[in-house]
Amino acid sequence: MLIEKNEIQIYDIDDIYAAVLQEFEGGSVTIDLSQVYHIDMSVIQLLIATKQSCEEEKIPFHLQNINTEVATILKQCACEFLMEEAL
């Protein structure tokens, strides 16, 4: 799934969650962050939740095309582990 926004945050989280859940139920989650330059903690938390659930259910989980800006935020939040399986 491609997120077509530059900035994603709490106001977008319901939509993103619905989309992620759909992929999760489809058996594979790949999130393309190529257009995203800013995320907030609600988004990071959703990504962690997704990663944890995918690991639990042995479903592939990938973050794709992470921009430097988003990578920096993940690092600042000690969440680099989300990028371990980045494509």
Partner 1 sequence: MIADRLTEELELFIEDSQEQLSYMEQAILDIQEDAQDCDSIGALFRAMHTIKGTAGMFGFDDVVNFTHVGENLLSEVREGKIELTEPMLDTFLEVKDHTQLLIDVAMQQRNLTSEEQDKGNRLTEQLEKYLAGEVGTTVEKVIESDTGTNTSEEHTNCYHISFRMHAPFFTDGMDIIEILKYFPVLGRVLYVFPVTCNIPPLIKYNPVEAYMGYEVLLESDFSQEDIYSTFEFVKDDIDLDIFASDDKKSLLNLLEKRKDKIDLKDQLLFYGCYPSKFFDEDETTKEFVEKPENITIETTTSTEVDVPVKRTGPKKKSIQKSFSLRVDSSKIDQLINQISEMVIANAKIAQHADTLDDTDLSESANILSEMLEDIRTGVMNIRMVQVGDSFKKFKRIVHDVAKKLDKEIDFEILGGETELDKMVVEKISDPLMHMLRNSIDHGIESKEERIAKGKSPVGKVTLNTYPDAGTIVIEISDDGGGLNKQKILEKALQNDVVTQGEHLSDKDIYQLIFEAGLSTANEVSDISGRGVGMDVVKQNIESLRGTIDIDSKEGEGSTFTIRLPLTLAIIDGFLVQSGDTKYIVPLEMIQECIELDSHYKKQMKEDEFINLRDTMLPLLDIRTLYKEAESRTSRENVVVVRYGDYRMGLRVDELFGEFQTVIKPLGEVFKNVPGISGGTLLGSGEIALIFDIPKLIEYKIKHKGVSNDSRNG
In the complex, the residues that contact partner 1 under the rule CB under 8 A are 9-10, 13-14, 16-17, 20-21, 24, 40-42, 45-46, 48-50, 52-53, 56, 73, 76-79
Return the number of the residue (24 or 66) whose C-beta is nearest partner 1. 24
The position carrying tokens 């997704």 is 50
- Dihedral of the alpha carbons of 83, 77, 26, 10, in degrees to the nearest 10: -140
Q: Which is nearer to partner 1, 49 or 87 (CB)?
A: 49
Shortest Å, Cβ 13 to partner 1: 4
Q: Compute how many other C-beta atoms are within 10 angstroms of the C-beta atom of residue 47.
A: 22
